[in-house]
Amino acid sequence: MPLDLAVLVFDLLGTFAFAISGALLAVQKGFDVVGSLLLASLTGLGGGVIRDLLLDQGVPNAFAEPLYLVPVVLAVLIVLVGLVHEGRLHRTLLVFDALGLATFCVMGATIAHTAGLNPVAAVLLGVTTAVGGGAMRDVVANRVPQIVDPDGVYATPTFLGAGLAVLLLELELFGAPAAVAVALLVFAARLLAVVRGWRLPLASMR
């Protein structure tokens, strides 16, 4: 699979996963179906739109390519009819959010690196792409964003994922298989952090 196509497939998959998380939160909050569509769009497309705005290369993909609406609408429908729903352990949203994080940190870093940014900037853009949509979802739904919630290691795996992706890109070892492997690693790290209750040190040692 050529890298262009792989990037597109990955980006659509991440969009779908984040859109599911947005639609699930819409159900929790009692939103109607259009509110769900807007929250799913913001979550699924938001990170990529921020990435494209920062790269300053014309109209963001999410607006220029109607194809990006397909995973969003699909996610809203799937949640609407109840094919995916929040379980008793409240972890369905977390799993889809983790899948979005995993794909978007790799994709954001790859797209930024391909656009010619320096490695550090590419890592930062990968992290921003990964956490941006979820942060806007949480702000609009009026809850403290998971990025700053100490109950769980959230952004750290995306630093690892974006860092690894950029390292492999610099070493010219990157391709679709490497992207999948790094994304799976991030996904596993995020889920393990939730299941095992991993914590990081607090912001103050006092």
Identify residues 51-70 at the interface with its own copies (CB under 8 A).
53-60, 63-64, 66, 69
Q: Which is nearer to its own copies, 124 or 182 (CB)?
A: 124
Residue 39 interacts with its own copies (CB under 8 A): yes or no: yes
Contact segment (CB under 8 A) with its own copies among 19-27, 89-97, 98-106, 171-179 equals 19-27
Q: Which is nearer to its own copies, 59 or 181 (CB)?
A: 59
Q: How far is the CB of 175 from its own copies (least distance, A)?
A: 25
DSSP secondary structure of 50-86 = HHHHHHT-SS-HHHH-GGGHHHHHHHHHHHHTTSS--
Instruction: Using the structure block, give the residue that is written with the tokens 């795996």.
Output: 157
Residue 88 interacts with its own copies (CB under 8 A): yes or no: no
CA proximity to 10, closest of 113, 110, 137, 84: 110
Residue 34 interacts with its own copies (CB under 8 A): yes or no: yes
- Tell me the residue type at 53: L
Residue 36 interacts with its own copies (CB under 8 A): yes or no: yes
CA proximity to 122, closest of 55, 175, 186, 189: 55
Residue 173 tokens read as 């070892």
Identify residues 138-197 at the interface with its own copies (CB under 8 A).
139-145, 147-150, 153-156, 159
What separation in angstroms does the CA of 23 have from each of 13, 36, 74, 195, 200? 15, 5, 10, 23, 29
Q: How far is the CB of 95 from its own copies (least distance, A)?
A: 18
Q: How far is the CB of 142 from its own copies (least distance, A)?
A: 5
Q: DSSP 3-state assignment of 117? A: coil
Burial of 176 (0-12, 13-18, 19+ CB in 10 A): middle
Please report how many Cα atoms fall inside a 13 Å half-sphere around the Cα of residue 82, on the Cβ side.
0
Residue from 8, 9, 31, 167 that binds its own copies (CB under 8 A)?
A: 31
Q: How far is the CB of 176 from its own copies (least distance, A)?
A: 26
User: Footprint of its own copies on this chain (CB under 8 A)?
Assistant: 23, 26-27, 29-36, 38-39, 49, 53-60, 63-64, 66, 69, 76, 79-82, 85, 117-118, 120-121, 124-125, 131, 135, 139-145, 147-150, 153-156, 159, 199-206
